[in-house]
Amino acid sequence: MKKSIALVFTLCTAALAGAQITDPKATEVWSPIPPKVTPGIFPGSPPSDAVILFDGKDLSQWRKCALGYGGKMEDVAAVIKKYGTVTKYEDAGWEVKDGALIVKPGAGPIETKLSFGDVQLHIEWLAPVDTGKTGQGYSNSGVFLMSNYEIQVLNSYENSTYPNGQAAAMYKQSIPLVNACRPPGEWQYYDIIFTAPRFAKDGTVLKPAAITAFHNGVLVQNHYELKGPCIYIGTPYYIPHPDKLPIILQDHGDKVRFRNIWAREL
């Protein structure tokens, strides 16, 4: 008897569920309507709603990075403490030549004047041919999302190093899924979707930062959840920081070139 009651109940539930999907209009959602965006003319060219961070002309969107980034968690903590205290910035001292932004070794890192949280970023880079250089010393730079989370820029074409430090690695955290590097002297690009970490008021991590990235159109990071800032020495962990922070480009002493940099706030 109990079994037959259960069967009737199941059939009734199934019938009700079926009734809910007989009208196709019931599952049409009419709002919100996505805003119109005109895509770029060529692959990689900025869509109409992008913020242009470098179009080959000048460094108007950039400044010298006053605080830098930490190599160890203690340094990261010290830098994060100083966010919001800088009142005067120096000009970005890097070179602009032939439509490219070129690292000026010794000038230090540069950062965007604008701050970003969740972001889509397109950035093109070129590792110059530098005979005799090897490993981490061959065209090293980096793109630091939110000033703390570095996707490595390095010549990783026939140049071996530790894989979690090669091109497209989240430095010392996540090895890229594949090596999609082009030879030095050729332009290549990253398309990045970055989600900022979320912190509770008491500083606990509600959601870690995450990155999806394509290197020359090939998926290299698939929603990787970061363990904290990308540091040189030690084990990363989260320290609460502002919701939006500048994007930093690293000066690692190599004349890496950048061009066509644009972002879309998400």
For residue 24, report the phi and psi dihedrals to the nearest 5 degrees.
-60, -25
| 166 vs 250 by CB, closer to Mg ion | 250
Q: How far is the CB of 153 from Mg ion (least distance, A)?
A: 6
Comparison of 67 and 127: residue with beta carbon closer to Mg ion: 127
Taking residues 200 to 219 in sequence order and writing x for each that binds Mg ion by CB under 5 A, - otherwise, the string is --------------------
Q: Please answer whether residues 255 and 107 qualify as being in contact, where contact means their C-beta atoms are separated by less than 8 angstroms.
A: no
Cis peptide before 32 (omega within 30 of 0): yes
Q: Which residue is nearest to Mg ion (CB)?
A: 142
Least distance from Mg ion to the Cβ atom of residue 190, Å: 13
123-162 residues near Mg ion, rule: CB under 5 A: 140, 142
Q: Which is nearer to Mg ion, 73 or 169 (CB)?
A: 169
Which helix (H) or strand (E) segment holds residue 248: the answer is: strand 248-249
Nearest CB to Mg ion, comparing residues 196 and 256 = 256
Number of H helices, E strands in the chain: 2, 15
Site string for Mg ion, 217-256 (x = CB under 5 A): ---------------------------------x------
Distances (CA, A) of 148 to 16, 87, 240, 244: 52, 21, 11, 11
Write down the least CB distance from residue 121 to Mg ion, Å.
Answer: 16
d(Cα 182, Cα 188) in Å, to the nearest integer? 7
Least Cβ distance, residue 143 to Mg ion (angstroms) = 9
In this complex, which beta carbon is closest to Mg ion, that of residue 152 or of residue 195?
A: 152
Lookup: tokens for 125: 């880079």
> Nearest to residue 69, comparing CAs of 143, 172, 136, 148?
148
Comparison of 70 and 142: residue with beta carbon closer to Mg ion? 142
The answer to whether 91 and 64 are in contact (CB under 8 A) is: yes
What span, in angstroms and rounded, lies between the C-alpha atoms of 153 and 105?
15
Residue 136 CB, shortest distance to Mg ion, in Å, is: 8
Closest distance to Mg ion from the beta carbon of 173 (Å): 13
Residues that bind Mg ion in the complex, under the rule CB under 5 A: 140, 142, 250
